[in-house]
């Protein structure tokens, strides 16, 4: 198997297959869940709006698919209302979500208020049952400044984040290697088991390869398992399948 095919398989296993469109229907979500299960293996999760969590959960359970259900809260604005974030988290968990992607109140941090970010993260973490994951979206493209990105990462790590996530995918600048490097540096400095999720703009296997190379170099070749590394994307699956369909049938054990 060549390097590109190996990267495609790694990207598939790490993929949070995402549909966060205002016009999504239940049929769209059922189709998304079907796409998450390929002949080469399954995605790590599907990520949908909270109103579609129960549909996704049922579709994946009916298929017997080993795919988790992620949803977004405090999204996409990253409000400074911890009660809202906690309430949305509890509702999403009750609907069947396994993973919560919460937007950090990045505007408040820019304005000098770090305490509200700590509260949002800690309150959402406290609302999760055992086995559920909290991914904290730092919106690094809006924070911009490396010191602010690191400050947001440190706050999230100190208050229970299971993953640091770069972006919502809803702003002009989303995932970048520079931002991912800062988040990995924070994880290393904290000696934390926290993972990394890159989201927004990762559309091709070649894009994913940039992040796998970065993670492998900084964290070690065996760090980037789905338990610690995710890619949030909608279009990436098409390129993964295009790469794998052009390789030997031996690329995967099948799903």
pLDDT in tens, 146-200: 999 999 999 999 999 999 999 999 999 999 999 999 999 999 999 999 999 999 9
Residues 6+ apart with CB under 8 A from 165: 101, 135, 136, 137, 138, 196, 197, 198, 199, 230, 232
- Residue 188, classified by CB atoms within 10 Å of its CB into exposed (0-12), middle (13-18) or buried (19+), is exposed
pLDDT for res 247: 66
pLDDT digits (tens, 9 = 90+) for 38-64: 999 999 999 999 999 999 999 999 999
Q: With cut-offs at 50, 70 and 90, classify the pLDDT of residue 249.
A: very low
Kindly tell me if the per-residue pLDDT of 254 is higher than 80.
no
Percent pLDDT > 90 in the chain is 96
Q: What confidence score (pLDDT) does residue 1 get? A: 80
Domains of the chain from N-terminus onward:
3-246 (3.20.20.70)
Residues 72, 49: contact at Cβ < 8 Å? yes
List the Cα angle 89/91/92 in 5-degree steps. 65
The predicted-structure confidence for 101-153, as pLDDT tens digits, reads as follows: 999 999 999 999 999 999 999 999 999 999 999 999 999 999 999 999 999 99
Q: With contact defined as beta carbons under 8 Å apart, do 229 and 196 qualify?
A: yes
Beta strands 41-42 and 37-38 are antiparallel
Pick from 23-27, 196-200, 244-248: least confident: 244-248
pLDDT at res. 248: 40
- Average pLDDT for 3-9: 97
- Burial label for 218, CB within 10 Å (0-12, 13-18, 19+), is middle
The model's pTM is 0.95
Residues facing residue 23 across a β-bridge: none
251 pLDDT more than 90: no
pLDDT confidence of residue 94:
98
Q: Given pLDDT bands bounded at 50, 70 and 90, which one contains residue 220?
A: very high
Which active-site residues does the annotation give? 101, 165, 197
Q: What is the pLDDT of residue 185?
A: 98
For the chain, what is the mean pLDDT? 96
**Whether pLDDT at 222 is above 80:** yes
Q: How confident is the model at residue 27 (pLDDT cuts 50, 70, 90)?
A: very high
């Amino acid at each position: 198997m060549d390097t590109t095919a190996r990267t495609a398989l790694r990207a598939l296993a790490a993929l949070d297959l995402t549909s966060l469109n205002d016009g999504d229907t239940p049929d769209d979500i059922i189709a998304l869940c079907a796409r998450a299960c390929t002949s080469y293996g399954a995605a790590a999760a599907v990520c949908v709006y909270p109103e579609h969590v129960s549909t996704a959960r049922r579709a994946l359970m009916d298929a017997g698919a080993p795919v988790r259900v992620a949803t977004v809260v405090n999204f996409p604005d990253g409000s400074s209302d911890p009660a809202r974030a906690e309430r949305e988290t509890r509702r999403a968990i009750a609907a069947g979500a396994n993973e919560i992607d919460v937007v950090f109140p990045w505007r408040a941090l820019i304005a000098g208020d770090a305490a509200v970010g700590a509260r949002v993260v800690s309150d959402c973490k406290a609302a999760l049952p055992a086995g559920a994951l909290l991914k904290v979206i730092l919106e690094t493209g809006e924070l911009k400044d490396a010191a602010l990105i690191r400050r947001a990462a440190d706050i999230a790590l100190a208050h229970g984040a299971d993953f640091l996530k770069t972006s919502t995918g809803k702003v002009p600048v989303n995932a970048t290697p520079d931002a991912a490097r800062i988040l990995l540096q924070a994880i290393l400095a904290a000696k934390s088991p926290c993972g990394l999720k890159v989201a927004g703009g990762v559309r091709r296997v070649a894009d994913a390869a940039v992040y796998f190379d970065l993670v492998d170099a900084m964290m070690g070749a065996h760090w980037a398992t789905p338990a610690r590394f995710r890619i949030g994307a909608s279009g990436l699956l098409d390129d993964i399948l295009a790469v794998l369909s052009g390789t030997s049938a031996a690329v995967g054990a099948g799903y």
